[in-house]
Amino acid sequence: MLFLCLPHKSSDCQIPQSILKFVKKWDGHGRKYQKVGWIPTKGHFVAEAAETSPLRWVVIAMFMGRYNHTIDPKGRLSIPSRYREVLGDEFVVSKGMDGCLFVYTNEAWKDFEAKLASLPLVNEEARQFARFFLSGAQYVTVDKQGRILVPQDLREFACLEKDVVFAGTGNRAELWSLEKWNEKNAQLDINKISQGMVNLGLTI
């Protein structure tokens, strides 16, 4: 994961406890710094604002990387340790796009819920969109072995039977069956997609 700090003018801005605990674990005090720090043992970046900054700063966890895991017949699945540090002991798993599952921290899920709530109720597509995600989402908890129980309906939706893939995609992680992941990526033409990103204002 990549930890970034972004300026936020809201005085009531809060750093998620799961992330704050991680920062404290690294720093010992949870203090703020003026520069980006590299944590060799964890493989993470941490960037924090100076104490004298006139703005409030928020730590944002960016999910990165791919991890191959297996899910057992009962639906028990181990969470990658680097993801677990950010997700904490409870988080949200929902139906996602392209036949995968989306994995959110509680804070990111609340932000997404707010966006769904802002959609116009009189618009049929907006209702269907919100219904798809909200009816297909569940809170899951991590057991002492670092595993979650993926609900059966979500396993069936994403065709999770044995080999699965966790993929970081920024503010959320995705959970795929290995077969679907390989199939989707075999069709990927990144050069063609990159041209489309220019139309969305992204240049690299």
What is the residue extent of each domain of the chain?
A: 2-62, 66-186
What confidence score (pLDDT) does residue 188 get? 81
CA dihedral 165, 168, 172, 175 (to 10 degrees): -10
What confidence score (pLDDT) does residue 45 get? 38
Q: Count CB neighbours of 31 within 10 A.
A: 10
Q: Name, in order, each residue with C-beta under 8 angstroms of 51's C-beta and a sequence gap of 6 or more.
A: 31, 32
What confidence score (pLDDT) does residue 5 get? 45
What confidence score (pLDDT) does residue 204 get? 67
Phi-psi region of 175 (alpha: psi -120 to 50; beta: other; left: phi over 0): beta
What confidence score (pLDDT) does residue 61 get? 56
Segments of the chain with pLDDT less than 70: 1-61, 203-204
From the candidate CATH numbers 1.10.10.1100, 1.10.3720.10, 3.40.50.1820, 3.40.1550.20, the one assigned to the domain spanning 66-186: 3.40.1550.20
What confidence score (pLDDT) does residue 30 get? 43
